[in-house]
Amino acid sequence: MTRVNSTNFTGLERFVVDQDASRGNFTTIQAAIDAAALVGNCTIWINPGTYSENLVFGTGNFSIVGNQAYRAYQVTIDGNCTFTNHIGNFTIQNVNFSAAVGDNITVTSNAAASANIQLDDCTFNSQLGKCIVATLTAPATFSIDMNRCDMQGQTGNILLDGPVTSSVNYCQMNTNSGDVFDLDNGASMIPVYTNCNSALGGGVTIRGATCSFTCLYCVGSYALELVTFLAAGEAIVVYTGLACTAPSGFWATGAGTLIYTAVGNIFGKTVDPVTSQVTFPLQATGTAGTTVTAVRGSVGFDSTSFAVSADGFVTFVGSTSGLTHTAIVANQTLAVQNGYYVTAGALSLALPAVSALGDVIEVTLAPTGTSFVITQGAGQQITLGSVSSTVGAGGSVATSATGDSLRIECVVANLSWQVVGGFTGTFVTV
């Protein structure tokens, strides 16, 4: 039995990076990345400091986390980061990216397998380039997701070229001379609750007919148009507080399709006549396809994720994490894409027999709960950093104190789970 603590990281020493060799097993981040790629399903903890490195990432399922045991300090990567033909799931947390030249992160891939890069609570500063540039020709699914990040790019924030989907949630995006977003060749971008600003540029340029841009509940300001279509792509703008001072007099321009919740006028700017316009009614309907009639008319809306008032105001009733959260008081089998609050008792929670790559489960021990243990079936295993439970029905992961919480992601269908995004408290693996 191995005890793993999220504060002192006992059991994870061989993946600790520190510029002082006496405090870590690697003095450079690149050396730790190369080692982690061979092992897989592990976490690299980086102690505070500025690491002047140009990093290259290949294949592997692992995470990089700026060490939060030193909350008064920060971890900075001063250089350029390159992902080449990346395959697998990769997470970076609590890291500052700084680049004096070039882009902060560059992604190029023609790999035939799926990949995901997740960036949480990071900052980006590209003094001469962009924050993220992704150029892909792969037929497989590739996604780049950002949560609570702060981006400052000189010539733009994010450029996506190819079959890649990206989401930006609760972020701050600022650029000087370029557009905040630039999309081509089937790229898809979804900013949500994000502040987007460009001092000399616009919001998004859509260069490809198969590109899509969905802007939900965002604010910001631009010197040029919010949406520029250079091809017949699609842009959806929902309940935004965006302003532009474009000399053209348009907030959207070009021969694309614009779908929006507005009346065609944002701070005195209108929509280009060549742009196809579809306006959302300022109301929707109830769930299960039931149509309701409100001030602006009626429309079918088949979803259980929203509630609609009598006069057409829509509110989101799901979880912003994408999971369905439930308070539980009885032993049960966990279900993927669900979050659980153990509010009473000492519960035994079994991993699901069937899971797909990327499925997520969260479990938290509430103050009123006693404990919980996650049990395994044949061939199953849970990995916390570099420590793994025993394979099969004899293995488990258990809490030891109120407030313990973890988030696990399936890394091998049906069998292997990895703690991702860090964890809170002390867990015991068997």
pLDDT per position as a tens digit, 16-58: 999 999 988 899 999 999 888 887 788 899 999 999 999 998 7
Residue 353 has pLDDT above 90, yes or no: yes
Return the higher-pLDDT residue of 158 and 302.
158
Give the CATH superfamily of 324-429.
gp9 (2.60.120.640)
> Which of 63, 31, 24 is CA-nearest to residue 47?
24
User: How many Å separate Cα 299 from the centre of its chain?
Assistant: 32
CA 218 to CA 379: how far, in whole Å?
Answer: 45
Residue 292 reports pLDDT greater than 60: no
H, E, C per residue of 127-183: CCCCCEEEEECCCCCEEEEEECCEEEECCCCEEEECCCEEEEECCEEEECCCCCEEE
What is the C-alpha separation between 161 and 108, in angstroms, rounded? 10
The tens digit of pLDDT for each residue in 363-403 reads 988 888 889 999 999 999 998 877 899 999 999 999 888 77
Q: Is the dihedral of CA 386, 390, 392, 393 positive or negative?
A: negative
Residue 32 DSSP label: H
Domain boundaries, the chain: 113-279, 281-318, 324-429
What is the spatial distance between Cα 112 and Cα 254, in angstroms, rounded to a whole number?
A: 34
Return phi, psi of residue 262, to 5°. Answer: -165, 180
What is the distance between the alpha carbons of residues 273 and 224, in angstroms, rounded to a whole number? 17
Are 143 and 164 in contact by the 8 Å Cβ rule? The answer is: yes
Please name the residue that has the structure tokens 């109120």: 402
Count CA atoms closer than 13 A to 351's CA, side-chain side: 34
Predicted confidence (pLDDT) at residue 323 exceeds the cutoff of 80: no
Structure confidence at residue 265 (pLDDT): 47
Of all residues in the chain, the percent with pLDDT exceeding 70 is 81
**pLDDT at residue 139 tops 80:** no
DSSP character at residue 11: T
* C-alpha to C-alpha distance for 76 and 393, rounded to whole angstroms: 42
Q: Over pLDDT 90: what percentage of the chain?
A: 45
pLDDT for the residue numbered 427:
83
What three-state secondary structure class fits 34? helix
Examine the pLDDT at 150 and tell me if it is beyond 50. yes
> Do residues 105 and 130 make contact, with C-beta atoms less than 8 angstroms apart?
no
Q: Which of 74, 24, 79, 27 is nearest to 57 (CA)?
A: 79
Task: Tell me phi and psi for residue 152, to 5 degrees.
Answer: -130, 100
Separation between Cα atoms, residue 87 and residue 26, nearest integer Å: 24
Q: What's the rounded Cα separation, in Å, for the pair 323 and 360?
A: 8
Residues 170, 154: Cα–Cα separation, whole Å: 21
SS3 56: strand
Q: Which residue has the higher pLDDT, 300 or 131?
A: 131
Least confident of 129-138, 222-231, 306-315, 338-347: 306-315
Predicted confidence at residue 3, as pLDDT, reads 36
Where in 283-392 does DSSP place strands (E)?
A: 292-294, 297-299, 306-308, 314-316, 324-328, 332-333, 338-342, 346-350, 360-365, 371-375, 381-384, 387-388
Rg of the chain, C-alpha, whole Å: 23
Dihedral sign for Cα atoms in the order 61, 88, 92, 96:
positive
Query: Do residues 427 and 407 lie in contact, with contact meaning Cβ atoms separated by under 8 Å?
Result: no
User: Would you call 31 helix, strand, or coil by DSSP?
Assistant: helix
CB 82 within 8 A of CB 51: no
Instruction: Using alpha carbons only, give the angle 253, 191, 95 rounded to the nearest 5 degrees.
Output: 130
